[in-house]
Amino acid sequence: MSSSQENSNGPPSAAKDAVLVPSVEMPAEAIEVSGIDFNKFHDKPVTAEDLYEGMKSAGFQSTSLCQAVDIINEMRTWAGPPLPDSPPGTSPPKCTIFLGYTSNLISSGLRSTLSYLVQHSHISAIVTTAGGIEEDIIKCLHPTYLSASGFSAPGASLRTQGLNRIGNLVVPNKNYCSFEDWVVPLLDEMLAEQETALSQPVEEGDARFTWTPSKVIHRLGSHLGTHPSTSPLAHTSVLYWAAKNNIPIFCPALTDGSLGDMLYFHTFRSSPRHLGIDIVPDIRRLNTISVRAAKAGMIILGGGLVKHHIANACLMRNGADYAVYINTAQEFDGSDAGARPDEAVSWGKIRGDAKTVKVYLEASVAFPLIVANTFVKGAREDKEDEKME
C-alpha cells in the first residue's frame, strides 16, 4: 500500500499509538482537579475557609498552600500521652512550634499577623534577623510607607531625600534617628547592670551574669510597653507580646542591622568595658527547647539564617516532625534557602516520616490565608466549644 493510500484511510497507526497510549484506571482515592465556583457566592461573602476549600484541589501552589494549612493544623492540635510520673490533671504535651521569619516581613504589613500569633501564644519560639528586631521597635515610633513608585523608585534620588527602600516600601531616616534616641539610654542601663554584676563575687557553681541576644530582645520588648514614646503602639509589636508571654526570640545575627550600628556607636561612649553579648548560651537554650520537645514543628517564612538555625536545632532531636517552608527561592544553586524539605531529611534535621511542604509563594500573600484557616479558625472553634459546655 502506498503512503498516499495509507493517509487517505486515516492517520498512521504508529502515530496514533504514540499519541493515544492506553491509560491505567485511576485509583478510587484519586482527587479530581477543581476550583472555586464563585457562582455560589452571589448572595453571601467569600470566607477564608471558602477559599481554602476551593483551592485545595486546584493544583500547583494552591494545593501546596492548602497542604500547609493541613500540616499546621495538625501541629497546633497534636497532643501526646501524659508524660511518666505526671501529676494528675497535668495537660498533655503539645507540639513545640518554631517560627522563623526574615526582617522584610516585619517591615511589611505581615507584622500584624506575626504579632497576633505571639500575642495569643500560638508559637513556642522565634528565630529572626536583626531587622526583624529593630523594625518591629521602629514601627512603634514611626510608620513605614508604601513607595509611590513601587519597586522602581530610583535609589540615588531616595538617598538624597533620606529615604530607604525595602522592596516597594519606604522608611525615612528619621525613623532610625528616633530609634537611636530610644535605644541608647537602654543600652546604658544594660551596661550598668552588666558592670554591677561583674563587680560582685561569684559563688562556687554560680554562673556569672551575661547578656545574650534573647535576653537583650526580651529587655527591648519589655521596654516598649513602659517607654512613653512606644507604649501607645506596643500592643502592635511582636517583641512586646513575646516579652509579656515569655516566648523567646533568638537572633544570632543581632549586629547585622541598625541595632548593630547602635551597638557600634555605643562602644565610643561606654567605659571601661563595652556591652558584652554572648551567643553561646542562646544556642544551648534553643537546642534544649528542641531536645525537650515531645513533637517539633517548623514554620519558616523566607530562608537564610532563620531557616537553617531552626532546622539545625531540630537536628538535636533527630529531626522535626512537621515542616512548612514558604519562600520563592529555587534549589538549583545548592543554597539552603532554596532547598526543599527532603534535603533537610538527609541531614537529620527533618524526620523521614515527617509531614512537610514547601510553598513557592511570597509570604505576605500566602501566610495570612494560612493563619486564617489554622490559628484563627482554631481560636474561634475553641470559643464556640466553651459556649457549648
Judge residue 344's burial from the number of C-beta atoms within 10 Å of its C-beta, 0-12 exposed, 13-18 middle, 19 or more buried: buried
> Catalytic pick from 215, 295, 349, 355?
349
C-alpha grid cell, residue 239 = 517583641
**H or E element at residue 352:** strand 350-359
268-to-196, 212, 259, 260, 272 alpha-carbon distances in Å? 20, 21, 15, 13, 10
Determine the residue type at 251. C
Residue 76's SS3 state is helix
Residue position matching grid coordinates 496514533: 16
Phi then psi dihedrals of residue 269, to 5 deg: -115, -5
Q: Please name which of 140, 81, 157, 62 lies closest in space to residue 357, comparing C-alpha atoms.
A: 62
Q: Please name which of 197, 180, 182, 242 lies closest in space to residue 217, comparing C-alpha atoms.
A: 242
Could you give the angle at which helices 130-138 and 173-198 cross, rounded to 10 degrees? 110
Distance CA 185, CA 262 (A): 11
Distance CA 350, CA 312 (A): 9
CA 369 to chain centre: 14
C-alpha grid cell, residue 354 = 515527617
- Active site annotation includes 349: yes
Q: Do the Cβ atoms of 146 and 117 come closer than 8 Å?
A: no
- Residues in contact with 153: Cβ distance below 8 Å, sequence separation at least 6, in sequence order: 147, 165, 168, 170
Torsion of CA 159, 161, 162, 164, to 10 degrees: -60
Catalytic residues: 349
